[in-house]
Structure 1
Amino acid sequence: LIAGLEAQNSKWAGCLYHYTHLENAVSILRDQTIKSRHLCQTTNFKDSSAYDFMSEIDDQVNHYVRFYFRPLTSTQLNNENLGSNKSKKRHNYTPMCPIPIFFRINLRTILNIPDLKWKVSIDNMSSKKTEYDCTIDIIKRFDFCGLFNDSDTNRCKELEFLI
């Protein structure tokens, strides 16, 4: 995984990105932990995704802490309502994260955590059909070249790292 990412000519390679609402960022810094959406249901979690969008995805996804391999994904742009001069309601979803806070974490540091169970997706986790795991087969199918491609905004930018 690391070799494939580092082989790409991108300023984002080698890091993971987690973005969240400002209020959640305060909790993350205070507690020194990033929790899955599922674990956050019992706290004062500020849901920064479009509820109508999240209600359509597989609930199993909510049991993982989700990281992106880069910033500026279409999900992020939708949740922030950036990259468009259209109204706040776009693609029939209502975004709710006007001021995201990013956490940039070194991937090698994460992978060096003993007994860490991680997976990567080969597509956007918002699709119920997306495959994800930490097997050689999934890594071989991971679109390293498309991950950082800015010229084609719909090509695999939303591959995710899951804990």
Structure 2
Amino acid sequence: MKKNIVVVLLMILGAMLIWGCVPQAPLPEAEEAAPPPPEKVELEWWTVQAGEQPAIAHWDYIIEEFEKKYPNVEVKRVDMIDEDFKTGLTSSMAAGIPPDLWFSWGGGILKAQVDAGHVADLTDLLTEPWAKEVVPRSAVAQSTFYDKHYALPL
């Protein structure tokens, strides 16, 4: 009986050795998963330049170039006249749904929006190299409150 067990074990061992010597087909390399495409983002931008063709053409060009560089971002520009803009902005902020970007007058109007918590702090953005080249330091005074910057002068 012991002899039969030894023979069976030797056969199993031999089969394992033979199996180990047979060339194995290479495993297909795991393909790296492509990163998901960036999420689509829509920015709503309110201007006070309704009917001002030279300005509108300029902003159309800026938006077109921006969207080429950031294809996942769509900029929806809304042009208004001054009084409609002021009324609409005040109402949208009171409702908690302001536009993502908007033209602003510096000073008191912007400060009231900052105090109400409707405006993001752009101080870090203004320290980037491109901003130092483009934004004149003298132009940020009207949008600086509490040692923080809240607008990019145009």
What interval of TM-score do these two structures reach, taking the shorter chain for normalisation? under 0.3
What TM-score, normalized by structure 2, do the two folds share? Answer: 0.25
What TM-score, normalized by structure 1, do the two folds share? Answer: 0.24
Q: Which structure is larger by alpha-carbon Rg, 1 or 2?
A: 2
The structure with the greater share of residues assigned to helix is 2
